[in-house]
A and B are shown apart, each in its own frame.
Chain A
Amino acid sequence: MSPHLGPNVAQDVSELVEYHFMVNALLAGAIVAVTAGVAGWLMVLRAEAFAGHTLSVMAFPGASAAALAGIPAAWGYYAACALAALAIGRTGSLRGGRTPAPRGEAAAGIALVQAAALAAGFLFLSLYGGVLGDLESDLFGTFLGVSDERLITLLVVGAAVLAVLAAIARPLVFASVDPDVAAAHGVRVRALGSVFLLALGLAVAAASQVTGALLVFSLLVGPAASAQALTSRPLASLVLTVALGLIVAWVGLGVSYFSTYPAGFFIATASCLVYVLARLLAGLRSRRGGPRARLPAAEPAPGEVLA
């Protein structure tokens, strides 16, 4: 078979969905787009991209530990991401107190977790003594090899992550933008931060099965940052994040099928394109002086507040 991207999109799409592996790939892309989109939206809101990046790096120690233990690489990745999330959560609470560590201190802790994890990965790899298989698809993603079993794992992980995030969404958002008041209202700010990192770690591990470990951010950050640039209404930007994620994942996977390049490459390219377009659109709107860019014509007079 030598697939060709023809001018007739309908025909191209029908060719795509003829193959079971491609249907699986598109379903996996959808699960990952929704899970990573929602987790990424919260990550962008919390300005925790560095933690997210550190979690994506866990592919290396995860894969090498899995090779050493003789288990599938994906399992190693899920476990490494979860462990790293717990470790980052711990470093944030070493100082005591109820509110999160200041940003610089948190970043130092995350950086050290990352360095330690990479060192562990190197150790596992030299103990294993071999070469990691499927390196390119682990790093850059693939539409091949999403077995039914892998798809079901993705579905279970994705559903669990979304259920946890839905349960903690409100206090988590409160703790993210306003930790002092949230703590005063009885929100367990730091515990929620750790639970979120765990959910984020699982979302990152899931997303890397489609985009590859190096390009996870294309689904984690791209759609969320684009949506947040376009609207500050929380529900609208969340829905937009998921919609953009689905478009980016499916277009990337579809185009990858007709070419020789890995899926992650096209997904990342599409994601960057969407972000640039969103920024341009947001910039254009604020320059035009849309309703949300204009200041109110007059402040209410001070006496009016009691009226």
Chain B
Amino acid sequence: MSTSGATPAFELRAASVRLGGTTVWSELSASVARGEFVALLGANGSGKSTLLRVLLGALALSAGSADVLGAAPGRSARAVGYLPQRRAFDSGTRLRGRDIVRLGLDGDRYGLPLPGRRASAAARARVAEAIELVGASAYAGRAIGEASGGEQQRLLIAQALVRKPDLLLLDEPLDGLDLPSQAAVAALVAHISRSHGMAVLLVAHDVNPLLPYLDRVIYLAGGRAVEGTVEEVITAETLSELHGVPIEVLRASDGRLVVVGAPDPPAHHHDRHNRAGAGAAAHSGAHAH
């Protein structure tokens, strides 16, 4: 937490976004402190990815203001790591996983790297370290298009981490991972967040793998946001109020949360195998297992 001074990792003040003529969310105020680990929750279409795009400077606010690492969004690109939602590489992409991670380190640099210099060896060591960290060493040398979806996801997390950013924006990083891998990646991100003082905003549909590590959550629904600790936000009262329909929150004996009654997206939107059996009513939790 070296730079955990007064400036937050990001801050949105009474911010609104319009897309294609409709307001995605409005009057949204939220902030994340340096080194904090925060989950961004909400149903499909609630505007989670939109919020990340605002923080990246890829999308302008229609009202309100935003600061990222003490500057306008997009101004501190080198200090922000980003994992977009669900990307698969074309199976014909002829670059290795290692090359994809390397692009995250210095892919924005013009000119060619001088081979054999100390800087280049240091860069390679940094890339290898990030790959090791996500446990992707076994397949980092193969073409990225040949790696499985979950393997690609791990490599992309390594790509987002490789610069040791001050703010890490992860859009559904656990999507497509098996349950042990979800737990492992959540633990990994939390560990790096603590050890490097890195603020993390992680979009998720299932808060359970993150429960042991979360500092706070931001919950988007109906164009509004609520922020607070898991205990404050994932409650029957708060969620019922946000969604405008009665919602129950159950706590399993192992501490897992099951949200029942939240408006659920159409089933085809959730084509992910590991969540397919979660049932029509369970939204922000509830594994089929």
Interface of A with B (CB < 8 Å)? 45, 47, 98, 166-171, 173-174, 177-178, 180-187, 228-229, 231-234, 237, 292, 295-296, 299-306
Contacts and interface: CB of A to CB of B under 8 A. Distances in A.
11 contacts: A47-B90, A47-B92, A167-B110, A167-B111, A173-B103, A180-B84, A181-B160, A185-B104, A186-B74, A186-B78, A305-B133
Nearest to A294: B142
B143 A292 contact: yes
Contact of A306 (B78, B138, B188): B188
Interface residues of B, number: 50
A173 B107 contact: yes
Interface string B97-128: 00110011011111111000000000000000
Contacts of B144: 177
Nearest to B110: A167
A234 B74 CA distance: 30
Given A186-B108, A232-B94, A302 B180 contact: yes
Contact of A184 (B58, B106, B113): B58
Given A292-B142, A305-B135, A184 B56 contact: yes
B90 A183 contact: no
A307 to B, nearest CB: 10
B174 to A, nearest CB: 12
B77 A186 contact: yes
A177 B95 CA distance: 9
Which of A45, A181, A182, A186: most chain B Cβ within 10 A?
A181
6 tightest A-B CB contacts, nearest first:
A174-B107, A296-B138, A302-B184, A186-B77, A232-B143, A302-B180
A237 B99 CA distance: 13
Which of B82, B103, B109: most chain A Cβ within 10 A?
B103
B107 A234 contact: no
A237 B181 CA distance: 33
| Secondary structure of the A contact surface, majority rule | helix
Given A173-B103, A184-B58, 18 more contacts: A166-B111, A168-B110, A170-B109, A171-B110, A173-B107, A180-B82, A181-B82, A181-B160, A182-B107, A184-B77, A186-B77, A186-B78, A228-B94, A229-B94, A232-B96, A292-B141, A296-B139, A306-B184
Given A305-B135, A306-B188, A170 B103 contact: yes
A176 to B, nearest CB: 9
B249 interface: no
Contacts of B107: 170-171, 173-174, 178, 182, 185, 187
Contacts of B108: 170-171, 174, 182, 185-187
A286 to B, nearest CB: 9
Contact of B187 (A180, A300, A305): A305
Nearest to A296: B138
A231 B99 CA distance: 13
B267 to A, nearest CB: 26
B187 A177 contact: no
Contact of A232 (B110, B134, B142): B142
B165 to A, nearest CB: 10
Interface in B182-204: 183-185, 187-188, 191
Given A167-B110, A173-B107, A174-B107, A305 B96 contact: no
